[in-house]
Amino acid sequence: MTSIQKPVSQAHRGNTRFRSAMAAVLASVVLSGCGVVNNMIYKTTGDVMQGFSRNHTVPYLLESDDLAMGCAMSEATAPLLMSFGRVTSEPDQLAVMLYLSAGGCAEEQAREHELDGLAALRAMDAEEAEDAMIRQKRALSLAAKRYHRGWKHHNAFYGKPDAGECPDFDDDLGEFIYMAGLLSGLQALNAEIQSTSSIGVPKNIGSTVSRATRCLENDKWWGAPMALRATVWAMIPGALPEGEDPFERLEIADAQGEEAGVRISHVFHAIAAQNKGDEERLRDVIRSHAQAIEETPANEEWVFVDAMATDMIVAISDRLWMENTGHRTPMGQLGTFWDDEKEAVETMDLDDLL
């Protein structure tokens, strides 16, 4: 009996070792399989999120006039949406819009700090004024970084604008995002200069953007491509082609934008006037914008762009008012100025009624 039981015991131990080895192999397969499944899930989720954001979230936002909500959304969701580039294709096209909007958030903060600084100067509070200016430059530096990231994603998706060939656009939104990327590049350079910092923004972006606007249909995009090009001509020495008048071009673009209900060209015109130190022209642009938004409603598909233009025009107006009166543009008085002549008001002589 003893000689019979021994082989049985050895066989049992052999089976146990075999089952343990198989269990280890199966566990390894299962665990590695979990990683594969997770990667597939992440990739699918990333593709879905990118597609939904591009095809639905961005168009929905462009039909809204709530700039603050758009700003908050861009700052809050950019890290989430951009992180999907770790598991699927980089969301370069979507990134252009995210970083343009997020850069605008930082620039809005910079404008608020500037107004605080101007108010402090009027109050003869030098320390508070200096602190506000420092905060302004920090915010502009952050804006420049965000705009520059948008510009780099634009180049990654559409190709470098100075490569010579225009990209093939899939649809109108793709063409609009191309224009938004050009604006992001120009804003990056402008914010970097104002911040007095150096974050590596190429100094030839202005001329590059000017050439790249020729890939866009001017009439289709409310005169904005021509306005952008003319602004570069007005601001960069030596950029003006022979026989061209940038402000004449800007006036034509303004008329196109006013008719279309997307007045972004007014912003470019105002920036060019500021750069030239032409306050009278600057006031005229602000008056024209205020009149236009009263007479023509914003284009339903591009409400956000028109609202953004109005916000920037109000910011320019606020700066003028703050410098001269110590407060911003009064509510309901965009397009008016502190030194405007008051209209004569007819009064009734009540003496004859007594």
- The highest-confidence range among 130-139, 156-165, 207-216, by mean pLDDT, is 130-139
Structure tokens of 103?
């850069």
CA-based torsion, 20, 24, 29, 35: positive or negative: positive
Look at 43 and 27; give whichever has higher pLDDT. 43
Mean pLDDT over 221-240 rounds to 93
Range of weakest confidence among 35-39, 87-91, 175-179? 35-39
Percent of the chain whose predicted confidence (pLDDT) is above 90:
73
Where residue 343 falls among pLDDT bands split at 50, 70, 90? low
Taking the domains of the chain in order of start, what are their residue ranges?
Answer: 55-203, 216-328
Residue 344's pLDDT is what? 56
Look at 10 and 75; give whichever has higher pLDDT. 75
Best CA proximity match to 90, nearest among 14, 154, 15, 24? 154
Q: How far apart are CA 334 and CA 324, in angstroms?
A: 15
Range of weakest confidence among 14-23, 103-112, 230-239? 14-23
Mean pLDDT over 148-153 rounds to 97
Residue 352's pLDDT is what? 57
Residue 41's pLDDT is what? 83
Where residue 19 falls among pLDDT bands split at 50, 70, 90? low
- Residue 6 pLDDT > 80: no
- Residue 29 pLDDT > 60: no
- Convert the pLDDT of each residue in 105-127 to its tens digit: 999 999 999 999 999 999 999 99
Where residue 98 falls among pLDDT bands split at 50, 70, 90? very high
Q: How far apart are CA 117 and CA 111, in angstroms?
A: 10
- Residue 193 pLDDT > 80: yes
Residue 346's pLDDT is what? 59
- Residue 186 pLDDT > 90: yes
Mean pLDDT of the chain: 88
Return the residue matching tokens 């008012």: 321
Structure tokens of 18?
């075999």
Q: Which spans in 246-302 are helix H?
A: 246-260, 264-276, 279-295
Mean pLDDT over 222-228 rounds to 96
Residue 4's pLDDT is what? 43
Mean pLDDT over 233-260 rounds to 93
